[in-house]
């Protein structure tokens, strides 16, 4: 009952908060903005409660299924944006990042109950792999939000739309820097997660797992982001085409997370 109640509370507060943020852009009102931030905090508390319930049920950190991982990603995005907004007033970054987080949260709810939980030897190393991968995916979700913001602001400049979106969005150079930073963080965290996952597979299964479906898909996503970083560093700037490519990279990340194989670098249960 508590799980359903907290999930519904998070969905409603998330949705109403984003609606108020959008309304604040169209028709600025201080009450809209304050209410939106407050409701985001309610969504954060509800998501924290859901993670705590999963922890009590599992007696372990709730990150061993895809639904739990997506819930954790949404939680990370909520925490990061709320903390940053408290100290730096990040404006529309708060809105765009949590739009992405909201849809990840919805997908987590859709997946809830459909993922099988499996227990494996050497849990500590496995947990480190999962946490690094989750942090990587959260960073890449932020980079996706910045890519969308860049495309919107670039469109405003191209067609000379001097509306409130143009006024509230950061400059293209600022968005570009944030996109580069979050992509680089996600890229290197994903590399560390892949390396640790492969080491775990070698210790537990006594074989490298690099040729399984999930690791292959993850390597493809990692290479895609590597191409983006290489082009970005080489050109010392970002083009519209590169930002569209960044969006495609995140779509590949979602497909990899939600549709290919299993979150764990393993497909069969292992006896301790």
Q: DSSP labels for 159-172?
A: TT--SHHHHHSPPH
- What torsion, rounded to 10 degrees, do the Cα atoms 156, 162, 166, 167 define? 170
Tokens 């109403």 sit on residue:
16
Number of domains in the chain: 2
Give the pTM. 0.85
Instruction: Identify the domain containing residue 65 by its residue range.
Output: 1-117
Same domain flag for 25 and 74:
yes
Same domain flag for 152 and 232:
yes
Same domain flag for 85 and 219:
no
Out of 50, 83, 117, a domain closes at: 117
Q: Which two tokens stand for residue 3?
A: 């799980």
Condensed to tens digits (0 to 9), the pLDDT of residues 13-59 reads 999 999 999 998 888 888 888 999 999 999 999 999 999 988 888 77
Determine the pLDDT at residue 116: 52
Q: Which two tokens stand for residue 93?
A: 């970054």
CATH of residue 84: 1.20.120
Condensed to tens digits (0 to 9), the pLDDT of residues 172-230 reads 999 999 999 999 999 999 999 988 888 877 777 666 666 677 888 899 999 999 999 99
Same domain flag for 146 and 103:
no
Out of 117, 133, 167, a domain closes at: 117
Same domain flag for 229 and 96:
no
Same domain flag for 203 and 156:
yes
The answer to which of 47-61, 94-108, 223-237, 243-257 has the lowest mean pLDDT is: 47-61
How far is CA 150 from each of CA 1, 41, 168, 248, rounded to the nearest angstrom?
42, 26, 12, 14
Out of 117, 152, 186, a domain closes at: 117
> In terms of Cα–Cα distance, which of 190, 175, 80, 83 is closest to 132?
190
φ, ψ of residue 48 to 5 degrees: the values are -60, -40
CB 15 within 8 A of CB 102: yes
- Residue 87 pLDDT greater than 60, yes or no: yes
Q: Which residues contact 32 (CB under 8 A, 6 or more apart)?
A: 20, 21, 23, 24
Calpha distance 139→183 (Å, rounded): 7
How far is CA 205 from each of CA 63, 79, 152, rounded to the nearest angstrom?
21, 36, 47
């Amino acid at each position: 009952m508590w799980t359903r109640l907290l999930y519904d509370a998070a969905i409603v507060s998330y949705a109403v908060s984003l609606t108020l943020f959008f309304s604040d852009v169209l028709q600025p009102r201080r009450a809209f903005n304050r209410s939106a931030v407050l409701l985001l905090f309610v969504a954060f508390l509800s998501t924290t409660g859901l993670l705590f319930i999963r922890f009590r049920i599992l007696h372990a950190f709730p990150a061993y299924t895809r639904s739990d991982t997506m819930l954790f990603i949404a939680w990370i995005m909520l925490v990061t944006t709320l903390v940053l907004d408290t100290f730096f007033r990040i404006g529309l970054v708060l809105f765009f990042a949590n739009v992405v987080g909201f849809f990840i949260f919805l997908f987590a709810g859709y997946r809830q109950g459909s993922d099988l939980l499996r227990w494996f030897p050497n849990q500590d190393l496995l947990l480190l792999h999962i946490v690094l991968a989750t942090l990587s995916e959260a960073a890449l979700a932020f980079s996706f939000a910045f890519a969308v913001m860049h495309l919107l602001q670039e469109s405003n400049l191209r067609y000379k739309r001097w509306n409130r979106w143009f006024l509230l969005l950061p400059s293209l150079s600022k968005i570009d820097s944030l996109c580069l930073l979050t992509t680089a963080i996600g890229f290197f965290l994903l590399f560390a997660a892949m390396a640790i996952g492969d080491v775990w597979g070698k210790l537990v299964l006594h074989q490298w797992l690099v040729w399984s479906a999930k690791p292959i898909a993850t390597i493809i996503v990692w290479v895609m982001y590597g191409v983006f970083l290489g082009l970005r560093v080489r050109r010392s700037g970002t083009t519209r085409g590169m930002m569209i490519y960044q969006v495609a990279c995140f779509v590949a990340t979602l497909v990899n997370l939600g549709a290919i194989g299993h979150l764990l670098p393993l497909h069969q249960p292992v006896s301790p």
